[in-house]
Amino acid sequence: MFVAIVSHKILIQYISDENSQLYTFTKDILFVFVTGIIFKLVLSKNDSRNITIFEKLKNSNDEIKESNEKYDIVAKATSDTIWDWKIQDDSFSWNKGIESVFGYTQDQVGDNSTWWFDKIHPEDSIKMSIRLYSFIEQKTEKWQDQYRFRCSDNTYKYVLDRGFLLTDENGKVIRMIGAIQDITKQKEEEQRLKLLETVITQSKDSIIITEATSVDGKIPNIIYLNPAFSSMSGYDVDDLIGKTPNIFNSPNSDTNELQKLLLAIENREECLIETISLTKNKEEYWVRFSMIPIYNSENELSHWISIQREITEEKKQEKEKEQLIRELTQNNKDLKQFSYITSHNLRAPLSNLTGLLNLIEDIPIEDQELKEILDGFNKSTHLLNDTINDLVKVIIIKDNPSIQKEAVLIKEIFENVFSQLSFQIDLYKPIIKLNFDKVSVLNINKAYIESILLNLLTNSIKYKSANKKLKITITTNEVDDHAVLVFQDNGIGIDLERHRDKVFGLYQRFHNYPDSKGLGLYLVKSQVETMGGTINIESKVNIGTTFTLTFKNKQ
């Protein structure tokens, strides 16, 4: 237009008619040229704008595509159940999770919020709805809560529900979208861990957990201590975290034990020591102390668990016990020595008396009175000698708890015993029945069994019935790997109802006989028991007495 007007003006002013043809041509050329340039300009501008728009469209398209892809991936990967609540008309929709996670089929799922609330555990629903409505009131952006959600099979699942609000342009809440995550497994694990944790927190044993490795050869630093440890040591948690348990050491701690512990830590081995520790107030206490290396799933040492128990009282008692045992052992030794010395001192003059009396026997004595006196002297001396010899036997038995045993023929022992008692046997001529068919050999100490049978036989003769002929029956039997020897007489017996407890006691006499010392049965029982056997008595007054001796008859 501008070119056309300018050309026209030029035509009117300058150009003559003859030139008008050239002029028109030139003007057209110019006109076309200028228009071409302008077009070119406009087109290229448009073009570049179009390219930018296209690029933009393409980008946003890509983003949507990518986002969709991402959503697809996430939707597949997540087990979340998504819900969408249009609050105004209370319409509620669920994604497939409501079926796959909670088991509700499409036709079971309600389409309003009541259905949702209805599925929340009664104990959780009030708290949950209060929090939810206050959130909607305040219109904050995000909301999350944990509650139990009922499944189609009426079991409950712990869920974590997270949601956000959508508002319209006026800021009015119109929609809420949420995602429910099934956290039942985590919750159960959490409860299991809580339960396990109580073992540590409630334990009366002190427990500390330390780092895996130590610096400068000390016990590794503490990362946890339980309340029991605090109350035992007097240290608070803050006092000890990051410190080495070496601070518990006392100058009186057993350095050997501590070395043992440090070596075990170096070698990553379990270790148990007992040592003296110090409380925060520098009071000493005894502690039994274990260090157990803990390895993680990669089999690397991750830390140490140390379980400690205060044993101060135990140690004290142990010490007292040791002291008591030492004293008793010493006392016992002293008493034994005393009894040897006493018996020696008694026996020495007594042996002189016996020796001198032996000499007198060969000297004829005319004086009747002197003869009687010497007789009494003789009898008393021999009785005293017998008593002391029996006592000596008791002392020696008590001093030798274990003795030599050998296989002994019972018949031979009786032959020996009878020959020693030949005088009495000739005098009273008792009926003696022996039956060793069942068991003829005893695994026993020969001297002891001789002494035992000598005592029992002497007793039978001594305490025989005045108006019956003495009858003694001795038999052996085998019962369950044990040899049983039964010794039976028809003598005056012992009133067991009165004396059962005392029959085998020391210095117990049940009959007023001048030469009974109250030692025989005590000695018999001691000897039987020293050989690992047992002895029982049955007796009836004026009917007789039965002794049952039982010996283990195996080597």
Q: Segment 324-343, which members bind another protein (CB under 8 A)?
A: 340, 343
Question: In 10 A of CB 288, how many CB atoms?
Answer: 16
Q: Which of 89, 298, 300, 362: binder of another protein (CB under 8 A)?
A: 362
Q: Which of 359, 401, 423, 514: binder of another protein (CB under 8 A)?
A: 359
Q: Report CA-CA distances (Å) from 244 to 211, 283, 290, 336.
A: 10, 18, 15, 54
Instruction: Pick between residue 343 and residue 378 the one whose CB is nearest to another protein.
Output: 343
Is residue 465 within 8 A of residue 490, CB to CB? The reply is yes
Contact between 355 and another protein per CB under 8 A: yes
The first and second tokens of residue 189, run together, are 């694990």
Q: Segment 267-296, which members bind another protein (CB under 8 A)?
A: none
**Strands ordered across the beta sheet of 156-167:** 91-94, 81-86, 173-182, 156-167, 142-150
Instruction: Pick between residue 326 and residue 344 the one whose CB is nearest to another protein.
Output: 344
Contact between 348 and another protein per CB under 8 A: yes
Helix (H) or strand (E) holding 307: strand 301-310
Q: Which of 198, 317, 358, 536: binder of another protein (CB under 8 A)?
A: 358
Instruction: Pick between residue 212 and residue 353 the one whose CB is nearest to another protein.
Output: 353
Q: Which of 155, 400, 435, 440: binder of another protein (CB under 8 A)?
A: 400
* Contacts of 71 by beta carbon, 8 Å cutoff, 6+ apart: none
Instruction: Pick between residue 290 and residue 445 the one whose CB is nearest to another protein.
Output: 445
Min CB(347)–another protein separation in Å = 4
- Tell me how far the alpha carbon of residue 43 is from its chain's centroid: 91
Min CB(359)–another protein separation in Å = 6
Contact between 397 and another protein per CB under 8 A: no
SS3 at position 100: helix
CB-count burial class (<10 Å; 0-12, 13-18, 19+) for 495: exposed
Min CB(337)–another protein separation in Å = 8
Q: Which of 73, 335, 396, 407: binder of another protein (CB under 8 A)?
A: 396
Which of these ranges, 40-48, 113-121, 217-225, 396-404, lies near another protein under the rule CB under 8 A?
Answer: 396-404
* Contacts of 533 by beta carbon, 8 Å cutoff, 6+ apart: 549, 550, 551, 552
Instruction: Pick between residue 336 and residue 379 the one whose CB is nearest to another protein.
Output: 336
Contact between 354 and another protein per CB under 8 A: yes
Terminal alpha carbon distance of the chain: 144
Which of these ranges, 12-20, 182-190, 262-270, 350-358, lies near another protein under the rule CB under 8 A?
Answer: 350-358
Number of residues that bind another protein (CB under 8 A): 20
Measured CA to CA, the distance from residue 522 to residue 471 in angstroms comes to 24
Contact between 347 and another protein per CB under 8 A: yes
Min CB(245)–another protein separation in Å = 52
Q: Which of 352, 380, 435, 542: binder of another protein (CB under 8 A)?
A: 352
Q: Which of 399, 406, 415, 515: binder of another protein (CB under 8 A)?
A: 399
x/- map, 373-392, another protein, by CB under 8 A = -------------------x
Measured CA to CA, the distance from residue 542 to residue 14 in angstroms comes to 186
Angle between helices 312-361 and 368-399 (to 10 degrees): 150
Q: Report CA-CA distances (Å) from 467 to 373, 464, 490, 491, 492.
A: 33, 9, 11, 10, 10
Measured CA to CA, the distance from residue 275 to residue 254 in angstroms comes to 6
Is residue 492 within 8 A of residue 542, CB to CB? The reply is yes
Residue 299 region by backbone torsions, left for phi larger than 0, else alpha for psi between -120 and 50, else beta: left
Instruction: Pick between residue 350 and residue 454 the one whose CB is nearest to another protein.
Output: 350
Which of these ranges, 108-116, 293-301, 349-357, 424-432, lies near another protein under the rule CB under 8 A?
Answer: 349-357
Min CB(344)–another protein separation in Å = 5
| Site residues, another protein (CB under 8 A) | 340, 343-344, 347-352, 354-356, 358-359, 362, 392, 395-396, 399-400
